[in-house]
Structure 1
Amino acid sequence: MADPLAARDTENYQQEYVQEFVDKWDELIDWDGRAMAEGSFFIEKLRELGAKKILDVATGTGFHSVQLLEAGFEVTSADGNPVMLAKAFENARRRGHILRTVHADWRWLNRSVHDLYDAVICLGNSFTHLHDDNDRRKALAEFYATLRHDGVLILDQRNYDALLDHQIQPTHNYYYCGENVRAEPEHVDEGLARFCYSFPDGSTFHLNMFPLRKHYVNQLMREVGFQRVETYGDFKETYRDTEPDFLINVAEKAYQGDE
């Protein structure tokens, strides 16, 4: 591509997650390191909210789906990229699990997923792949529609406010724990965050993502119908806006006072 910064389209991720990058993705993540960094945050939060049946809409290579299965949740694993989905199935099988997988585009999620869930999780900074405001609204509405009346959406994102406003570099303490693997922003503006992923063998890959601001995401969630939205920073309830690498948004569907 003549101008890599011009790739600001929701469909772009399909070309970015090629087989070679997907095969290396677990080097970037390091499942054991990530499990230690996260602790039991998502498991405890889901249990606290009474969720048992979970739809993981951004399965990736399967990390959270496997974590939740091993914690006793009923999990359906969805992803828009078939290469990622195949890798997740393979990873889970090596750990003694058979994933229930669905290939689905979030914007038309309920064409592919015909069930109701206690919780939808969209993790790993995945929502940032949607470059268009209408796509984001449509996806959130689809997540909302597949939840039970008292269901919850848990969606995370990089702390793009810190990147945009303060040029604070991510520390990778939580999500990117792989040895000698670098994930760094090459370009950030209000409409694009381009990250470069460098591996020990010299290979590099790029992802073009939309820099989601915290207030904007919270507002979208409320506009599609979620009644209560709380944001956590790097798995803590209190934080200064410039500190966390990642923000975790927990959006509840039920009205305040619902039984």
Structure 2
Amino acid sequence: MKMNTNTSTKKNHQDFGKNPQSIRRTDNYKAEYVHSFVEKWDELIDWDARASSEGEFFIEELRRRGARKILDVATGTGFHSIRLLKAGFEVVSADGSPEMLAKAFATGREHGFILRTVQADWRWLNRDVHGKFDAVICLGNSFTHLFNEHDRRKALAEFYAVLRHDGILVLDQRNYDIILDEGFKSKHTYYYCGENVRAEPEYVDEGLARFRYEFTDGSNFHLNMFPLRKDYTRRLMFEVGFQTIRTVGDFEETYHQADPDFFIHLAEKRYENEPEKIAL
């Protein structure tokens, strides 16, 4: 796969217009992930710190179910795709942002892997991604880029369709309940672990969470996202067809509602009376 290395064609500045808070469209995420922002994204994540904080949580959950073939629908710069490849899984890495995919592909090569990358819009996922998977992972608070309920239902239905009959969807989100109800606070322990990068909401209402990302060189970027409430997300998953949904907070089984920075939903494509498949 040949990547475009002509930096003169790459966009480095975000443009939200005169009223940034009015930008509440699913399709806008492609314009938000400009080249200069993507190049700094790993400063925000801090791969080593994030790997340490989440441990083997996702790997163990997938292995416990005997999963082998994984579709990473929000691969970003490739963090989870590469971790799963190193753990021996077969991975297809998808993203709607061409800039993110190019970065992930380059990072994969640095780690000794040729990523199987696919640019795909979740709402038409099965048009671009073929075959069935044991698991779909949608991580990094990515599902909040969908701004209307029709898009969210369509994406979840596409995730459901691409899974084998006993597959699992692993989807995470910020704890927007606490942000909306009590204000923003974050331990910055589990997801955005970069010590010298600030990631905080600049504006929040029930239909928009506009986050500002400040880096050490003085640059700053924004993302407009939809603030998903936990129970709403679970209800959508159930209504689309997922019958068994388990939610944990910050990789812990037991938590107080207000405590986690992030929720992780594990939604299974099987009925409760079906025996669970456990890897031996």
Q: C-alpha deviations, 1:87-139, integer Å up to 9, x for none? A: 00101100111101111000000000111000000000000000010000000
Which residue identity does 1:59 align to in structure 2?
T
Of 250, 262, 273, which residue of structure 2 is paired with 1:234? 250
Q: C-alpha deviations, 1:171-201, integer Å up to 9, x for none? A: 2111111131010011111000000000000
Aligned to 2:7: none
Tell me if 1:134 matches 2:120: no
Tell me if 1:257 matches 2:255: no
Aligned to 1:198: 214
| Secondary structure of residue in 2 paired with 1:202 | coil
CA contact 2:72–2:91 (8 Å) conserved in 1: yes
Which residue identity does 1:222 align to in structure 2?
F
What is the CA distance between 1:170 and its match in structure 2? 1.9
RMSD value, Cα = 0.7
What is the CA distance between 1:257 and its match in structure 2? 2.0
Quick one: distance in 1 between partners of 2:107 and 2:188? Answer: 23
Aligned to 1:116: 132
Of 26, 34, 42, which residue of structure 1 is paired with 2:42? 26
Tell me if 1:83 matches 2:112: no
| Secondary structure of residue in 2 paired with 1:24 | helix
Quick one: distance in 2 between partners of 1:196 and 1:71? Answer: 34
Aligned to 1:171: 187
Aligned to 2:33: 17
Unpaired segments ≥5 residues, structure 1:
none
Tell me if 1:3 matches 2:30: no
In terms of Rg, which structure is larger?
2
Quick one: distance in 1 between partners of 2:224 and 2:188? Answer: 18
Tell me if 1:102 matches 2:108: no
Which residue identity does 2:207 align to in structure 1?
G
Tell me if 1:223 matches 2:221: no
| Secondary structure of residue in 2 paired with 1:23 | helix
Quick one: distance in 2 between partners of 1:172 and 1:134? Answer: 32
Of 197, 201, 204, which residue of structure 2 is paired with 1:188? 204
Aligned to 2:227: 211
Quick one: distance in 1 between partners of 2:184 and 2:33? Answer: 26
Quick one: distance in 1 between partners of 2:54 and 2:116? Answer: 24
CA contact 1:166–1:242 (8 Å) conserved in 2: no
CA contact 1:168–1:242 (8 Å) conserved in 2: no
Aligned to 2:57: 41
Between the two proteins, the alignment pairs up a number of residues equal to: 259
CA contact 1:233–1:245 (8 Å) conserved in 2: yes
| Secondary structure of residue in 2 paired with 1:13 | helix
Which residue identity does 1:229 align to in structure 2?
I
Quick one: distance in 1 between partners of 2:39 and 2:120? Answer: 21
After superposing on structure 2, the runs of 4+ consecutive aligned residues of structure 1 that deviate more than 3 Å are none
What is the CA distance between 1:167 and its match in structure 2? 1.1
Which residue identity does 1:204 align to in structure 2?
N
* TM-score, normalised via structure 1 length: 0.99
| Secondary structure of residue in 2 paired with 1:152 | strand
Unpaired segments ≥5 residues, structure 2:
1-16, 276-280
Q: C-alpha deviations, 1:36-85, integer Å up to 9, x for none? A: 01101100111112211100000000000000000111100000001100
